[in-house]
């Protein structure tokens, strides 16, 4: 089929003949129809020129694909990224439209276009999900790696909720060591482990992680002593954490929030994340969530995001970024999709 003639007029790319308008706009949903003329955005024209569906001319000559590509990309940092994703979606049979230099519209989906080397933050990703203009739409991320391969992710806000109703109310005493707290009261420690899966039992006791111990102290359910017998109150325990384990205090607001959501919360170290969370006791279910705690304004490397999502997918769990934004805990759910 012969290419359709498009003309470059005053930096605008225009198709005038009805037959050409029908093929490009009515069939493929490309361009904007104004006064019986079809106006193409530069990115759309680059795609059509590469696919040899149009021939672009000005008053004197034919404009090549290379010339138009350079002109369209001039001054636009994200052009090649958005173009590669636009072309990929078109070749998959979709009909994306262009909203702005980063965003494509795809039926009820928005596709935010990023390159692997682009910097982002959790705060920016949250804003993608919260834009009031796009509340009813699904949010996708199209990510182009250094070699031009494209990966798609679904991103949304998530409210993880568990089913744990048998809350621990027993008061226990533990001995503080450098990296954990040890409980020796057999009757009480087994109730503690059975009710909410606290700690890890060994033959003669139960070892609590420091974050579990801090939470139980704040609930006034745990008294801590040193091996010498000297009591450690919560302020001294917090000073101990600030000095030796500050990362625990950084993660603690997320841990506490997950507990309030009736989830069982354990370390996610073996999965490369901070926490894993169960909606019910591990006797009845596997961990549904892997949660990674981040600073909302820290720049996140896309490889860090990819690793977390890949691991969660491999073990059939949901990957969440968690962070504190003012007084609210935000959970961002990310998963790989195949459009």
Tens digit of pLDDT for each residue in 51-110?
999 999 988 899 999 999 999 999 888 999 999 999 999 999 999 999 999 999 988 889
10 within some domain: yes
- Which one from 152, 198, 278, 331 is the annotated catalytic residue? 278
Total of domains in the chain: 2
**Does residue 56 sit within a domain?**
yes
Q: Is 317 a catalytic residue?
A: yes
Active-site choice (53, 158, 317, 333): 317
CATH number of domain containing 29: 3.40.1170.20
Choose one of 74, 98, 113: the last residue of a domain: 74
Report the pLDDT value the prediction gives residue 46, as an integer from 0 to 100. 97
Does some domain include residue 288? no
Of 50, 74, 98, the one marking the end of a domain is 74
Are 145 and 121 in contact, with CB atoms under 8 Å apart? no
pLDDT one-digit tens code per residue, 287-296? 999 999 999 9
> What pTM was computed for the model?
0.89
SS3 of 240-258: the string is: HHHHHCHHHHHHHHHHHHH
Pick from 106-110, 199-203, 300-304, 305-309: least confident: 106-110
Query: Does residue 4 lie within any of the structural domains?
Result: yes
Residue 2 within a domain:
yes
How do beta strands 103-106 and 109-115 pair? antiparallel
Out of 25, 40, 74, pick the residue that ends a domain: 74
Structural domain containing residue 224? 166-245
Judge whether 189 lies within some domain. yes
Phi, psi of 114, rounded to the nearest 5 degrees:
-135, 150
Characterise 98 by phi-psi region: left (phi > 0), alpha (psi -120 to 50), beta (else): beta
Q: Determine, yes or no, domain membership for 38.
A: yes
Active-site residue, selected from the candidate residues 127, 244, 260, 286: 286
Q: Establish whether 286 is a catalytic residue.
A: yes
- Domain contains 18: yes
């Amino acid at each position: 089929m012969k290419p359709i003639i498009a003309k470059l007029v005053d930096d605008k790319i225009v198709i005038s003949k009805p037959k050409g308008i029908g093929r490009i706009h009515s069939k493929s949903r490309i361009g904007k129809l104004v006064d019986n003329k079809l106006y193409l955005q530069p990115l759309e024209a680059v795609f059509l020129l590469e696919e040899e569906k149009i021939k672009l001319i000005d008053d004197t000559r034919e404009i090549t694909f290379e010339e138009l590509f350079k002109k369209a990309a001039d001054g636009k940092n994200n052009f090649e990224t958005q173009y590669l994703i636009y072309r990929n979606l078109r070749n998959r049979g979709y009909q994306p439209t262009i909203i702005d230099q980063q965003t494509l519209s795809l039926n009820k989906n928005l596709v935010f276009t990023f390159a692997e080397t682009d910097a982002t933050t959790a705060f920016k990703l949250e804003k993608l999900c919260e834009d009031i203009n796009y509340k009813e739409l699904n949010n996708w991320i199209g990510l182009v790696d250094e070699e031009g391969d494209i990966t798609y992710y679904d991103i949304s806000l998530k409210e993880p909720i568990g089913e744990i109703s048998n809350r621990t109310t027993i008061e226990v005493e533990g001995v503080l060591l450098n990296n954990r707290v040890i409980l020796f009261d057999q009757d009480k420690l087994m109730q503690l482990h059975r009710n909410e899966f606290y700690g890890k039992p060994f033959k003669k006791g139960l070892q609590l992680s420091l974050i579990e111990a801090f939470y139980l102290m704040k609930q006034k359910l745990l008294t801590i002593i040193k091996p010498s017998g000297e009591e450690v109150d919560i302020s001294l325990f917090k000073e101990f954490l600030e000095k030796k384990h500050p990362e625990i205090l950084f993660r603690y607001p997320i841990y506490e929030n997950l507990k309030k959501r009736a989830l069982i919360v354990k370390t996610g170290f073996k999965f490369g994340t901070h926490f894993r969370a169960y909606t019910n006791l591990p006797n009845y279910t596997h961990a549904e969530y892997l949660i990674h705690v981040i600073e909302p304004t820290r720049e996140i490397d896309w490889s860090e995001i990819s690793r977390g999502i890949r691991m969660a997918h491999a073990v059939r769990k949901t990957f969440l970024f968690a962070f504190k934004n003012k007084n609210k805990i935000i959970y961002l759910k990310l998963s790989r999709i195949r459009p």
